[in-house]
Amino acid sequence: MRISELIVEEKATPLQHFYEGANILITGGTGFLGKILLNKLFTSCPGIENIYILIRKKNNKDVHTRAEEIFDDPIFNVMKKVAPKFRHQFQGIAGDCLLPNLGLSREDRKLLIQRVNIVFHMAATVRFDEKLKIAMQINVKAVSDIMLLCSEMKHLKSVLHVSTAYTHCPLRQIDEKFYSPPSDSKNLILLTECMPDKLLESMTPVLLGKWPNTYTFTKAVAEDIIKMYGNKLPVGMFRPGIVISTYRDPVCGWIDNFYGPTGAIAGAGTGVIRTLRCDPRAVANMVPVDLCVNSIIAAAWDISQKHK
């Protein structure tokens, strides 16, 4: 059974028409956000032709094994009952954002160039204490590489880059617009690639400036790359806040990690964390992952409409 054979509403929405027959590339598809995106695309956008997921080898497991493990998660149980062969619509593509040109083989790159219509770039390292060299490669250089790949795609309709609401956290107010990057992306890529590790680590605080960590710093630099391709490609950007567990779709309260507030809540609930120092006046900009994914899917459609 193909995705297009699932039961759908009698009247398709403009978004569903947009995804009809689409071939989609997703980076970061094995992560928390990626799993919910896969589930939502499958259940709400019938007619999708194929979804390609960039997957790296990990813990001595090949791409095929890791692709299969994605669907071992309980959130896909309903899909297994409705369409037990649905996973055949998803294809794992060997790649790694730490490698040049995303680590793609010549054959896979050609396949993506010829077939892909829509791209969701969500792969990132979210560790606040990540070494700058690694954070630059994954959060900045890989963005440049994915944009170069997209510029070669024959039938591209939309590219969505997932950033964060905290890219320009040194500012008191952040609007829906581009800001000047903390450093030039090209020069910074060259610097981090050429400089010895120990020297780069000692210079990291100076390079970060007002940015509190390598995560927000590199995500801010990456946004400038998206801006540069804005006149060439149908590309857009999505800045979510603190992504937390699901609100209701596919189930209420699902999460697969202890990042951010989830770890604090779990720690308090188990009695491990007794006190937590914070500013009571601060606002926690938290958003359920399923609502975040809904916006991502709609944003990709909106990008294509505005680019026409």
- pLDDT tens digits, 125-183: 999 999 999 999 999 999 999 999 999 999 999 999 999 999 999 999 999 999 999 99
Has residue 1 got a pLDDT over 60? no
Domain that holds residue 228: 3-307
Residue 172's identity, in one-letter code, is R
Please return the burial class of 180, using the count of CB atoms within 10 Å of its CB with bins 0-12, 13-18 and 19+. Answer: exposed
**Cross-strand pairs, 183:** none
Alpha-carbon distance of 255 to 272, in angstroms, equals: 20
The residues near 21 (Cβ < 8 Å, ≥ 6 apart) are: 47, 48, 49
CATH code: domain of residue 236: 3.40.50.720
Q: How many domains does the chain have?
A: 1
Which has more pLDDT, 244 or 262?
244
